[in-house]
Amino acid sequence: AGITEMLVQKQGDSVEFLPAISDKWQSGSFSGFKIIGNIEAGADWKEGSLTKATLKAANSGILKARNSSLDKNAVVVDSKYNKVPFTTEEDGTVIAFDAAAGETYSIYPADYVQTTGESTWEKYGAEISSNSSCFHQLNGIGVLWIFK
């Protein structure tokens, strides 16, 4: 539970990604973490910064994601790479969007989107999809993650 809390936490009504990540874990990923509210979360990070977060809610409603890398210029897409509108809250590091039950949403921080050099979301989304599918099981625990 301690490692999970370092990677993702439910803070009030938002899901906080990488709240207490170790400096020794400069790059890595996790997926399939079940958190309060029947939400499934995952994330990728590189050089200590979030590059992708995923959320899947069992019920329809507002989902909120928090990370210092998220702001009004982030990109949120559904599983078909349709852009999803969102609003920012609090200090601008919380984004909120309407979620459909069972749908998986990918959230990309603006600084990561800008560094890809891609001019269209469709091309960028396909590139991310093909590059983020390598996960390993750790000691037979049923949660998939990697630390590089």
For 19-52, write each residue's pLDDT tens digit: 998 888 899 999 999 999 999 999 999 988 999 9
Contacts for 130 with CB less than 8 Å, ≥ 6 apart: none
pLDDT category at 3 given cuts 50, 70, 90 is: confident
The model's pTM: 0.76
63 with 105: CB under 8 angstroms? yes
End-to-end CA distance of the chain: 20
Dist. CA 42–CA 107, nearest whole Å: 10
- Beta-ladder partners of 26: none
Task: Give the CA angle between residues 37, 140, 28 to the nearest 5°.
Answer: 65
Alpha-carbon span 143 to 90, nearest angstrom: 31
